[in-house]
Structure 1
Amino acid sequence: MDDISTTPAPAETGGAGEFLEEAALNLSTSNVLPAGSISISRSARAYAWLVFALMFCLLLSDYMSRQALNALFPILKAQWGVSDTQLGSISSIVPLAVGVLTLPFSVVADRWGRVKSIALMAGLWSVATIGCAVAANYHEMFVARLFVGVGEAAYGSVGLAMLVSLFPRHMRSSIVGGFTSAAAFGSVLGVSFSGLIAAHFGWRWSMGVMAIFGLLLVIIYCFVVTENRIARAHPDEAGASPAQGRATLTLRALFLGLFPSRSVFCAYLGSALQVFIQGTLFVWLPSYLNRYWGMPVSKAAVVAAGLVLVSGIGQFLCGVATDWICRESSLKRWSMAIVYCLALGVLLAIALRMPTGNLQLGLLAAAVLFLASSFGTCGAIIATATPPAFHGSAFATLTLFNNVLGLAAGPFVTGVISDAVGLQAALRWLPCAAVLPLTVYLIGRWCCLEEARRG
């Protein structure tokens, strides 16, 4: 058996394991659901699904507003004369803000009220998107994009927490999976619609339409979703105040919960380094297709959106394959992460050095199937190794790593390299970046073995 125990080794933690278990127990006692809460009235269940639909659409708006600008890079470069470094920065500032602000904003939302916080966040990113539409230069666009990121910072975590409270425990996996899938669809819609609208009405209307869509959803949300209705939809869970659900938790206990072993740290870091490649491709593919394939902006946006969709399908398939092959074995999950990352690096290296044409496009599609595989492997490793009471904070930590070291760093660094040697040469070096997560995965697998032997 190569199943790996996730209990920290006594040699590493001493009495910290008991301390951590006690803290986790204190936190988890407030999350136990009464047995009667699974039985929900028909009207309450219908309302829960209505809220789910609205939250799903808001997450669509979130990612449409975030990704729409990527399709407009060729237009902005020609109109404003900005460098690729500047283009990369106005893309990277959004995930950077999300990564830095996710944890503090989530804490504030839990105390102030999730319903009000979600309305405020969605309204802010929509108004900020209007700011993008009227920006007159790079600096104004950068500030507007910063506020897009501020608005989007905690929506995913806060929205998911609210949805989980509306549905029975046995439906949580379906709700989480369904809600988060809106990110991939929103990215595709944002890039493709942005390019098409820009081709017919101008780039400012591309951002304007995204903003109008978001504001309409906010208005509907404010009429439909209230704290009282949420409480009535699932009174057994929602009746408790946020203060009742909080327990005193020291920084030491939190740190031990989030980083119980070296292998878990490797999972955070390896995922972020692989997301570096994902963030780069998602941002720069429309420009690459426009500059080197000679595609018009609208067509380049649609083709790039198609590759993003393939990546989303691959993310799901890699997760299913990993669960089917690995079962409960953390060691096998590390092996799958290594295989996926190796396949990504090799296929991407071949594809980006091929001449433009259908063969290159086919190889790119094959490569991006493995682009987001780290979510299924590293996410499962982290969930298995950390106490259930810390899972929310653990995934927020993973989000921080992925956004700061991956989605924010990738487009910016590639933009800097592109200014020096050209975008095509910069992307041809991108597969070398796969060596970093591959190395971390190998170290993580070795740490996992060592922790199992000591355990």
Structure 2
Amino acid sequence: MTEATALNAGAAASDSCHALRRNVALAMLFVVGTINFVDRQLLSVLVEPIRAEMDFSDTQFGLLTGLAFALFYAAMGVPVAMVADRWNRVKLIGIACVVWSGFTAACGMVSNFWQLALMRFGVGAGEAGGTAPSLSVIADYYPPAQRPLAIGLFTCNGPFGVFVGATFGAWAAANIGWRNAFIVIGIVGILVAPLLIWLVREPARGAMDTHKPADEALPFSQSLAMFWRRPSLRMVMIGSGLAAFVSYGMLNWIPAFLMRTQKMPLDAMATYFGPAAGITFGIGILGGGWLVSHRAKTSARAYGTIPALATLVLIPTFIAALLVDSWQASLALMLIPMAACTAYVAPALALVQNLTPPRSRATAAAVLMLMFNIVGLGLGPLFAGIVSDALKPAHDVDSLRWALMALMPFAAAAGIAQYRMTRYLEKDFAE
């Protein structure tokens, strides 16, 4: 009896220790991911002060916030993820954080468009070592049933980063200047990276899976082939790419729309938009992950139906937000689409982690994020910028209103792809 009690106590202590380690890991990865998104959002919030000094067009700004970043992010994403599937992921994330933070600080020292574009290339290359390896670490700390919620909590770094970036960026533009804003955020990232490496332990690969994990990482060609062989993975790439096209187009241009078209003051941007964006994006990401974790217990179709329903809600509410005349009414109406536009993120990432082997999860996540970043981040903001410039002679400041409206057909296509995915999910999970 005493021996059994001792064994039970040891098991309980071990479980408690593991729970503490994974919670610390999730918290630190969340902090690093937040810095990642602050770096991205900062440029979107500071667009008007930077434009006033350097005279950018909307197309050039679309390149800076989208394609310039996304091309290098995507180009480095798969090679870095392959390293993560073979090497210490926590150290890799820490090194990447130092790299992107250094280039972020350097954004505050540029004097023209091309220098700023070059720094954004560096930020994108560094941030390629952040999300995909982090998702792989989380998948090895949490069992499959808990992954949608855990990944939902992790990906709340996006909305929290938007909140911090929008609030800090607007305050910084008014008080310390846009250049010092980049420098401060860069220094913060450089200081946090060593703390991550010190506090987070590299988990055993596949420890939370019920099946025996593969001993070696798959070649890239085999990881890519999984997306072709399994219809669910193929459709999640299409649906997520289109959804990212819309959500990044919205995220990168809503601040400029509110300030330029709706005449929202800069101090109101810090007071109202920052918290509103952070809370709504967080509700969308965490809500999507929680709902799928809950509903997928009875039907795997939840990975497709919940994002599709969110897209159905997004379209009419965003159109209404664009058509009103005041920034107050516009921001109030945007609360629903800003939540709905991120509901696809956690389900898509969790689906890929659950349908791929442990030794290829970082690579598989990077393949999905190619769609997020090339189609979504790379082309969404650029598309809106090009449409805005094309319409400017006829519509002046209202051109941005109609450029954002032009994103809605892509939202409809995303919803169709997400719903179509539901017919394949149960079969792919069974296999």
Q: TM-score range by the shorter chain?
A: 0.7 to 0.9
- The percent of aligned pairs where both chains have the same amino acid is 24
Q: 1:389 to 1:147 in 2, by over 3 A?
A: closer
Distance, in Å, in 2 between the alignment partners of 1:379 and 1:50 is 21
Distance, in Å, in 1 between the alignment partners of 2:270 and 2:31 is 21
Distance, in Å, in 2 between the alignment partners of 1:308 and 1:256 is 36
Larger Rg: 1
User: Partner letter of residue 379 of structure 2?
Assistant: A
Among 191, 200, 220, which residue is 2:175 paired with? 200
Q: 1:183 to 1:366 in 2, by over 3 A?
A: closer
- Give secondary structure in 1 for the equivalent of 2:229: coil
User: What CA deviation, in whole Å up to 9, does each residue of 1:118-161 have, x standing for no partner?
Assistant: 33211111110121000111111000011011111021222344
Q: Which residue number in structure 2 is paired with residue 294 of structure 1? A: 263
Equivalent runs, 1:18-97 vs 2, <5 Å: 40=14, 52-92=26-66, 93-97=68-72
Among 91, 103, 109, which residue is 1:128 paired with? 103
User: Partner letter of residue 349 of structure 1?
Assistant: I
- How far has the Cα of 1:442 moved from its partner? 5.0
- How far has the Cα of 1:45 moved from its partner? 7.2
Superposed CA RMSD in Å reads 3.5
- How far has the Cα of 1:447 moved from its partner? 6.5
- Preserved contact between residue 268 and residue 398 of structure 1 (Cα < 8 Å): yes
Q: 1:161 to 1:39 in 2, by over 3 A?
A: farther
Q: 1:424 to 1:114 in 2, by over 3 A?
A: same
Among 45, 68, 74, which residue is 1:99 paired with? 74
User: What CA deviation, in whole Å up to 9, does each residue of 1:45-81 have, x standing for no partner?
Assistant: 7676555544332222221112111111011111111
Distance, in Å, in 2 between the alignment partners of 1:411 and 1:214 is 25
TM-score by length of 2: 0.81
Q: What count of residue pairs does the alignment treat as equivalent?
A: 405
Is 1:188 the counterpart of 2:158? The answer is no
Among 286, 290, 296, which residue is 1:320 paired with? 290
User: Partner letter of residue 435 of structure 1?
Assistant: A
- Preserved contact between residue 346 and residue 431 of structure 1 (Cα < 8 Å): no
Deviates most, 325-334 or 143-152: 325-334
TM-score by length of 1: 0.77
Q: 1:300 to 1:337 in 2, by over 3 A?
A: same
- How far has the Cα of 1:111 moved from its partner? 4.1
Is 1:154 the counterpart of 2:129? The answer is yes
- Preserved contact between residue 198 and residue 298 of structure 1 (Cα < 8 Å): no
Q: 1:124 to 1:88 in 2, by over 3 A?
A: same
Distance, in Å, in 2 between the alignment partners of 1:48 and 1:326 is 23
- Preserved contact between residue 172 and residue 178 of structure 2 (Cα < 8 Å): yes
Q: Which residue number in structure 2 is paired with residue 405 of structure 1? A: 375
- How far has the Cα of 1:345 moved from its partner? 1.2
Is 1:440 the counterpart of 2:417? The answer is yes
Q: 1:332 to 1:74 in 2, by over 3 A?
A: same
Distance, in Å, in 2 between the alignment partners of 1:268 and 1:315 is 18
Contiguous gaps of at least 5 residues in structure 1: 1-35, 239-243
Q: Which residue number in structure 2 is paired with residue 430 of structure 1? A: 407
User: Partner letter of residue 79 of structure 2?
Assistant: P
- Preserved contact between residue 124 and residue 148 of structure 1 (Cα < 8 Å): yes
Q: 1:443 to 1:115 in 2, by over 3 A?
A: closer
Is 1:367 the counterpart of 2:344? The answer is no
- Preserved contact between residue 322 and residue 333 of structure 1 (Cα < 8 Å): yes
- Give secondary structure in 1 for the equivalent of 2:340: coil
Q: Which residue number in structure 2 is paired with residue 32 of structure 1? A: none
Q: 1:193 to 1:257 in 2, by over 3 A?
A: same
Contiguous gaps of at least 5 residues in structure 2: 1-9, 208-212, 392-398
Q: 1:348 to 1:53 in 2, by over 3 A?
A: closer
User: Partner letter of residue 60 of structure 2?
Assistant: Q
Among 382, 385, 397, which residue is 1:415 paired with? 385
- Give secondary structure in 2 for the equivalent of 1:134: coil
Q: Which residue number in structure 1 is paired with residue 6 of structure 2? A: none
Q: Which residue number in structure 1 is paired with residue 243 of structure 2? A: 274
- Preserved contact between residue 38 and residue 168 of structure 1 (Cα < 8 Å): no
Deviates most, 397-406 or 432-441: 432-441
